[in-house]
Copies of this chain bind each other. A is one copy, B any other.
């Protein structure tokens, strides 16, 4: 009757990162991302035109910003805003438990 973010986690294929849209509206997308050990390819940096708000819900992850010298070690409940074009990459995600993210992508109404 009510959807659950942690449902069906064990049924996920552990070899792939899984993106599940939870809400899609014009200019707004909320998605669940389940990582099971996946990380960004060597030398790859995300460079997104839109701002993103991200929350780690379960598991652990290490996130790296190109303008910082160290990884950020994320625990459940950690959240951050990623500014447009702030280059970042996922250095590491936990396998068991899986790293479960909530990502909110949005365009500014000023744009």
Give chain A's interface residues, CB within 8 Å of chain B. 1-7, 22-23, 25-28, 30, 51, 53, 55, 57, 72, 74-81, 102, 104, 106-110
Chain B residues, Cβ within 8 Å of A104: 23, 30, 104
Chain B residues, Cβ within 8 Å of A78: 2-5
B106:A74 contact, CB within 8 angstroms: no
Which label, helix, strand, loop or mixed, suits the secondary structure of the A interface? Answer: strand
Given contacts A2-B78, A4-B77, A25-B108, 6 further A-B pairs with CB under 8 A are: A2-B79, A4-B79, A6-B77, A26-B109, A26-B110, A55-B102
Q: A101 to nearest B CB, angstroms?
A: 13
B27:A109 contact, CB within 8 angstroms: yes
The CA of A51 and the CA of B25, in the complex, are separated in Å by 10
Chain B residues, Cβ within 8 Å of A106: 25, 28, 106
Chain B residues, Cβ within 8 Å of A81: 23
Return the chain B residue nearest A32 by Cβ. B79
Q: A52 to nearest B CB, angstroms?
A: 10
B79:A3 contact, CB within 8 angstroms: yes
